[in-house]
Amino acid sequence: MAKHQLHPEQWIDVFSDLLLNYALIRIKEREIAKDLVQETFLTAIRTKEQYRGEISEMNWLFLILKSRILDHYKKKKEVLESQLKEADDDEDSDDFFNSTGHWSKNGAPNEWTTDKMVRSAEFMHVLNECKNRLNEVQNAVFTMKYIDGEDSEMICKELNISSSNYWVLVHRAKLKLRECLEKNWMT
Amino acid sequence: MICCKEAGILGEKMGEKKLSTMETFKLMYHMVWCKNCRRFKKQIDWINRTLKQIDLDEKFTQEEKGDLKEKVNPEMG
């Protein structure tokens, strides 16, 4: 007998906010995040016969949403490709490092005081805002790697990114995210 | 000695892959001498840990929830 059962009539009241949060951490625009949550419920209803009850209905809904989000990244393939090209160009005009590849005067990290390094709700919003300032490709790669814990091989395959591009992208995303936090929270 | 940019990328790879002995040595040697890279690594490690706990506490408004129900409920049959 199945361990779990579906209660679709309760989904919106019970799970919609949780799913919206999950989507908004991964997708910049609220409207798109809302649409993806809606698509998740619709997909779940249409495929409910395939549910075997081996995982909880919440986890099942999250799996569907995760797959919808990945599809959204893939649909943006053209944008991703043009931004990959921009990222390559960006490498040549680097603000963080000088011509010898060492930290530039303005790009070097400043010391952060421990009293600012708190995980408050306000900080979480600043962190998410800073993440949202990354371009689409950096945001997608960064989210998959550091929030979803996917490995580089899977990310490169799904987003059609070369391994060398990937490491540079992630590193640049970290540089930008750290700089944004320093400017908007730590000072 | 490798530059800071290269050290950053090697550090990134090291989080997931096993570096060659030479790469590990180059990275470690750089980190011993470079205060800025040590500071960068410390801050990034903290950001990574924080990202895993990110929670926005965002909610659908009642109106948005109503719209969602209007679109989803008819599909339930």
Q: Encode pLDDT of B13-51 as tens digits.
A: 998 889 999 999 999 999 999 999 999 999 999 998 888
Q: Does A170 touch chain B (CB under 8 A)?
A: yes
Instruction: Say which of A16, A108, A167 has its CB closest to residue B60.
Output: A16
Contacts of B57 in chain A (CB under 8 A): 21, 121
pLDDT for A59-117, tens place per residue?
Answer: 999 999 999 999 998 887 666 666 666 666 555 447 899 999 999 998 999 999 877 78
> And the tokens for A27?
């997708």
Is the Cβ pair B12, A108 closer than 8 Å? no
pLDDT for A20-66, tens place per residue?
Answer: 999 999 998 999 999 999 999 999 999 989 988 889 999 999 999 99
Instruction: Say which of A103, A128, A152 has its CB closest to residue B54.
Output: A128
Q: What is the pLDDT of residue B37?
A: 97
Instruction: Show me where the domains of chain B are located.
Output: 1-55
Q: Does A129 touch chain B (CB under 8 A)?
A: no
Distance between CA B29 and CA B34 in Å, rounded?
Answer: 9
Instruction: Say which of A12, A45, A151 has its CB closest to residue B16.
Output: A151
Helix (H) or strand (E) holding B65: helix B62-72
Which residues have C-beta within 8 Å of that of residue A185, sequence separation ≥ 6?
A: A116, A123, A126, A127
